[in-house]
Structures are given as C-alpha cells and as structure tokens.
Amino acid sequence: MKKLILLIASVFWCVSAGAQLVTDNDDVLRDLFENQLGLAVSEINPAAMPGLREVITSQGVFYATPDGQYLLRGLMYNLTEGLVNETEKTMTRVRLAGVASFADSKLVFPAKDEKYKITVFTDTTCTYCRRMHSQIDEYNDLGITVEYMAFPRYGTEHPSFNELESIWCADKPQEAMTKGMAGQKVKPKQCDNRLAEQYAFAQSVGVNSTPAIIAKDGSLMPGYLPPKQLLQTLQKIK
C-alpha cells in the first residue's frame, strides 16, 4: 500500500516553461532555483511523496515537480507512520551535517564530565544569549558542552558582526566571549574565519533568533533554557 502523505503548502508557485520543452532533469530545477529565484541549492533528492523532488536550498526545503513547472513550500507529513514530519526529518539531517562541517570553527566551552553536547547560535547583542553565557559554568557542571556558532542578528554588515569576529579571532577566544557577553569591550581583531558561512547556514536550517540550540539528534530548540531545564530536555532526547 502506498504511503499516504499530507502536504501542507504555505507557498505555491506555478512556473511557466514557455514554448520550450521542460524535461525531468534536476538541472532544470537547479536553474530554476538558482537563476530565477536566487536561492543556492545544496541537494536535490526524491521527496517522500511519490512524484515530487525535494530541493534543499539556502532558505530551507522546497518541493517541486520533476519538470520544474510546479513548486511548493510547506510541511510534508507521513500519516501512515504516526504523523511523521518528513520535512523536519530532512532538516535534522541537514543540521547535523552542517554542524559537523563547522567543527573547526566553533567556539567551545567543554564540560569536564561531558554527557551532552549542544551547538548554540549566539550573538553578543542578545539579552538571553548573555544570560545563558553567564551560566556557562552551570551548564558545564551538568555535563553539557556548549559549542558556539555565530548568528549576528543584524547581519554581517552591522558593527555587532565585527565584535563577534573580534571574539573568534582573539588570542583567547573563550575569554573574549565572556567579556563580550558581559558587555565589556573586546579588542578589535580580524582574521580568516567562517562566521558569515555560519550565519548563512543557520538561516538555511530554520534559525531566525538567538539563542538557538541544536541537539545531538539535529532537533532545533529556539530560545533560552536554564541549565537544569535544558538538562531535562536533553535527557528526553534519544
């Protein structure tokens, strides 16, 4: 029996192929997204719903007919497996792969007795990011290693991005982060870094505010959680 899948579409576009013949070719979809819609495409795969292609872009997941004529954006649910969110399944995979690709450019506050590891998108202009960092020792004492990635809320052209860059480029970046989060001035410094890439990646996987936490299973938890509450949440994740 074919899987019954519910597709909830929040955006629906019909793209005319004009007089040209449109073939079932992923190159057609890539051209549509990149050259007509201005979205970078990282993957094109068969969608969970037969007959559709799943397109992973710089602005998240889209679905399209193979000929490039119809394009949808929304959440796809598999009803035969207990209302499984197929779109979120894809996003968790993409988040985990992306987080791993930035392993060498994170700013890490390790727990001595590590039980859990989280990736946190942060910004020194964010009140709740500052509150979270003020409790960094408590998170670490509970066995939670915190790995920071940059999410400059006002964009990469704003002065706040320069502060994040100075922190990551500092001789002692952990100390610089603590100073920046406390509202203290951080010595300006530049270096080769991947902060703009981190910001772009965050936007592509659903991050739109800070702090935002990615857990070991790839799930996204927006917002601040106190140390003990975060621990309880992580303990429930398989």
Q: Is 193 exposed, middle or buried (0-12, 13-18, 19+ CB in 10 A)?
A: middle
Residue numbers annotated as active site: 123, 126, 129, 153
- 215: DSSP letter: -
Instruction: Report CA 178 to chain centroid distance, whole Å.
Output: 24
Of 173, 171, 178, which is closest to residue 136 (Cα–Cα)?
Answer: 178
Distance CA 160, CA 155 (A): 8
Q: Is 196 exposed, middle or buried (0-12, 13-18, 19+ CB in 10 A)?
A: middle
Residue for token digits 């013949």?
21
Cα→Cα distances 4→7, 20, 76, 232, Å = 10, 34, 11, 35
